[in-house]
Structure 1
Amino acid sequence: MNTAEGFKSGFVALVGRPNVGKSTLMNRMVGRKLAIMSDKPQTTRNKITAILTTEAAQLVFIDTPGIHKPKHKLGEYMVNAALNALREVDVILFLIEASEREVGPGDRYIIEILSQVKTPVILVINKTDLVKGDELFPLIDKYRSMMEFCEVVPVSALEGQNVDTLIRLISGLLPKGPMYYPDDMVTDQPEQAIIREIIREKVLHLTREEIPHSVAVEIEELKPRNNDMIYVRAVIFTEKESQKGIIVGRKGTLLKKVGAMAREDIENLLGSRVYLDLWVKVKKDWRNRDSILRNLGYDLKD
């Protein structure tokens, strides 16, 4: 694609409390599943870069971990990653839920941070499919009384409502600039990183509340085989033997479900048949151990 005169490009951060739909919205905007989606909060651990290229602009999205009060070193890393993203972008999308009635302490904390930056902030009210339209006006007034937003956009990331409007507004706020990535590129994340998150998502989907934040996934091997199949060996780490038992399930039934669901998504990603070899191991207190966090891909310098 030859960039026309007046072509715009820039970086866009998605911020908000855990579980407001940042990953779902980013996936919807780029038209592909790149970030983990779960009904359990704090599931995005690393900044995920997704790329949307149109005739007029290239939008590079950074999906940050939900801003929350950290309880361990992994939590501190997640919050620092989100805060650092605000210094790197041209536009910030601040996501809240349409069903909110009051501005909670978590959102007040985020507003306090956003008020200190000069970057344009769009207030995105997500999950509008769950409320009636006129219910949004009191919520909008409350947020506008606390901070000046350049735009307020209600959307349903799940159903795609008003997402195209949001994309046009973001594009209008970006500076003129070059195309940073090829026009057919949708992410700068390596395949292993996406596969790791796909597997972790399936674990979160199928397990109970005691599992979510104690799970990490490491891809030990990813290579083609002679029969046009790609072999993937992955280890699911958790902190306790009891959690390992939950993930494996009775006679391995739950782990088999994780594998079947993950394999389908990985095959769609790679465009090839996949043999997924899953293992579960215990690494006690891994979320507080720097060496393990680094081995699992977390850049603790952030």
Structure 2
Amino acid sequence: MTDGRDKFEDDDFDDKDEGVSESVDEGADTGAEEGAEEAAYVPENPRCGFVALVGAPNAGKSTLLNAMVGSKVSIVSSKVQTTRTRVLGITIAGDSQIIFVDTPGIFKPKRRLDRAMVAAAWQGAEDADLVGLLFDVSRRSIDQDTQGIIARLKEQGRKAILILNKIDLVPREKLLGLADSFNQEGIFTDIFMLSASTGDGVEHLRGFLAARMPEGPWHYPEDQISDMPMRLLAAEITREKLFQQLHQELPYAATVETEQWEEFENGSVKISQVVYVQRDSQKAIVLGKQGSRIKALGQAARTELEEMLEQRVHLMLFVKVREDWENDPERYEAWNLDFGAS
């Protein structure tokens, strides 16, 4: 027990014998280091633009974003509404740099956090050069949330491309009927059918988007895949594992924050994170019997973090009760959400 928190160290680790370098800057980007001496690649006919991915919760936006980028930049879960903020994923296709905005699912908000998430989604759509509406074809018919998105796009006078996702789950005849229903709405310029999870149709969509990006210089270095700070991305990885392991036991009452990030001369990194829950009973759920669940969570998160960072990771997890974290303005600022969104 430390500072009222239950602590889990993913492996035996003592930093006393390590040469500690400066900790990673909280604003460090997931990409090229600032001040790199290598000359930046300059395409002959550069194009660059923003594509907002919108849709109802669990339509597959994060899965598609990761497939487009070729690396994880947004968490994926079978639970709805897991993306809480706008996530920029960056990919190159020929001379085009495509900047994807993976937005929270658009739904009818009830809580403060819901309202902030939906506001972020619409802001991402309004700022984009192109809007892609994702629809999960396994739903079989156009759901109320998707109908609401279409209505608002009509109000804004926005055109969009329709992306029918998860086509591997339904017969072709059903796809054609859905495509026709959407086409009658009059706002879709193009329709794509793909499976973000298998990759079927993803490259076709990437080529289409690349050709339609506005002419202009790239906004980011060639090897940068996201603008998300590493501290936030690491916390999102752990939050994803939390969702995957707890299923229905801890719906949306938990969040994860990276408190400390220490780089060492041997190339390893120590990451300390806090899992915030709202009640003591939820804390017990996260910890599990004799700490078994938090240990499994830490091992899963550490494995993925090591793959992502390509270095050894010493992950330390704490569990702390913060009853009203959903109404803490600082949490919203960290997620780039509007605390006062209505």
TM-score interval, smaller chain: over 0.9
- Give distance in 2, aligned partners of 1:73 and 1:242: 23
User: C-alpha distance in 1, partners of 2:335/2:264?
Assistant: 25
Amino acid at match of 2:248: E
Which one of 304, 320, 324 corresponds to residue 265 of structure 1?
304
For 1:2, the equivalent position in structure 2 comes to: 42
In 2, the alpha carbon distance for the partners of 1:114 and 1:154 equals 21
Please tell me whether the aligned partners of residues 84 and 335 of structure 2 are also in contact (alpha carbons under 8 angstroms). Answer: no
1:186 is paired with a residue of what secondary structure? Answer: coil
After superposition, the Cα gap between the structure-2 partners of 1:295 and 1:33, relative to the gap in structure 1 and judged at 3 Å, is closer
Unaligned ranges ≥5, structure 2: 1-40
Q: 2:129 aligns with which of 90, 95, 103?
A: 90
Shift of 1:255: 0.4
Aligned ranges 1:1-302 → 2 under 5 Å:
1-5=41-45, 7-294=46-333, 298-300=337-339
Structure of greater relative contact order (alpha carbons < 8 Å, 6+ residues apart): 2
Aligned in 2, Cα 1:299/1:270: closer, same or farther, shift over 3 Å?
farther
Secondary structure, aligned partner of 2:156: coil
Aligned mates of 2:212, 2:174 — CA distance in 1: 28
- Answer whether contact 2:117 2:337 (CA < 8 A) is retained: no
Supply the AA of the counterpart residue of 1:134: E
One-letter amino acid of the structure 2 residue matched with residue 97 of structure 1: D
* CA distance 1:285–1:107, shift in 2 (3 Å): same
| Displacement after TM superposition at 1:100 (Å) | 2.6
Superposed displacement of residue 98, structure 1: 1.5
Supply the AA of the counterpart residue of 1:59.
Answer: I
List structure 1 runs of 4+ shifted beyond 3 angstroms: 117-120, 291-299
Q: Is the Cα–Cα contact under 8 Å of residues 21 and 157 in structure 1 kept in the other structure?
A: yes
From the CA coordinates, give the structure whose radius of gyration is larger: 2
**Contact in 1 for aligned 2:249/2:285 (Cα 8 Å):** no
How far did residue 298 of structure 1 move? 4.0
Return the TM-score normalized by structure 1: 0.95
How far apart are the structure 2 equivalents of 1:15 and 1:221? 33
Query: In structure 2, what is the Cα distance between the partners aligned to 1:257 and 1:86?
Result: 37
In 2: Cα distance, 1:86 partner to 1:24 partner: 18
Structure 1 runs not aligned, ≥5 long? none
For the 8 Å contact 2:159–2:187, the answer to whether it is kept is no
- TM-superposed CA distance for 1:127, in Å, is 0.5
Cα displacement (A) at 1:45? 0.3
Distance (Å, rounded) in 2 between the aligned partners of 1:252 and 1:258: 10
Give the Cα–Cα distance (whole angstroms) in 2 for the partners of residues 30 and 101 of structure 1: 28
In the alignment, which residue of structure 1 is the partner of 2:27?
none
The 3-state SS of whatever aligns with 1:99 is helix
Secondary structure, counterpart of 1:92 in structure 2? strand
Q: 1:258-288: CA deviations, max 9, x gaps? A: 1001001111222110100001111113213
CA–CA distance in 2 between the matches of 1:40 and 1:10?
A: 30
Structure 1 position 214, deviation (Å):
1.2
Q: How far does residue 291 in structure 1 lie from its aligned partner after superposition? A: 4.4
What letter corresponds to residue 257 of structure 2 in structure 1? E
Q: Supply the distance in 1 between the matched residues of 2:187 and 2:123 (Cα, whole angstroms).
A: 22
- The 3-state SS of whatever aligns with 1:183 is coil
How many correspondences in the alignment? 301
Superposed CA deviations along residues 22-79 of structure 1, whole A, max 9, x for unmatched, are 0000000010011000000000001100100122211000000001112211111101
TM-score w.r.t. structure 2 length? Answer: 0.84
Encode CA deviations 1:179-220: one digit per residue, 9 max, x unaligned: 111111111111101101000000000003141311111111
1:226: how far off? Answer: 4.4
CA RMSD of aligned residues (A): 1.6
